[in-house]
């Protein structure tokens, strides 16, 4: 397996595992809602440049659902980007780079 294949495989597995963790968290939050566990779990405040999120007195299922949704959204928004470090040459560049001198630069001392 080449290095590029290993990189692609590891990035893909990372994305899949991130989505699974987000889905598990989301399902746990939903499960807490359906079981009727409505005790207050605390307060959550998040402030971004254009948005503000505030959950006060929310049940614990809300926190799991928000966390799972956030993980899934971030994973999908981030996407899967692979950058290759190897140079890409055109056929003409390859021909120009393979021009060899007519004579060897090393003198032949064996005669």
In the predicted model, is pLDDT for residue 102 greater than 80?
Answer: no
Segment 72-92, tens digit of pLDDT: 988 888 877 766 666 666 666
| Residue range 32-40: mean pLDDT, rounded | 79
pLDDT of 24:
93
Cβ contact 55:63 at 8 Å = yes
Can you give the pLDDT at residue 106? Answer: 74
Q: Which residues contact 24 (CB under 8 A, 6 or more apart)?
A: 68
Closest CA to 76 of 24, 27, 15: 15
Give pLDDT tens digits for 40-61: 777 878 888 888 878 787 787 8
The model's pTM:
0.58
Give the pLDDT confidence score for residue 5 in this predicted structure. Answer: 84
Confidence label for 17 from pLDDT (cuts 50, 70 and 90)? very high
């Amino acid at each position: 397996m080449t290095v590029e294949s290993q990189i692609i495989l590891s990035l893909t597995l990372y994305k899949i595992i991130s989505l699974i963790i987000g889905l598990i968290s989301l399902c746990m939050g939903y499960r807490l809602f359906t079981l009727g566990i409505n005790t207050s779990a605390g307060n959550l405040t998040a402030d971004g440049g254009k948005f503000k999120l505030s959950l006060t007195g929310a049940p614990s299922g809300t926190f799991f659902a928000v966390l799972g949704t956030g993980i899934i959204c971030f994973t999908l928004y981030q996407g899967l980007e692979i950058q290759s470090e190897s140079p890409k040459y055109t056929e003409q560049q390859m021909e120009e780079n393979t021009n060899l001198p007519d004579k060897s630069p090393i003198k032949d001392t064996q005669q």
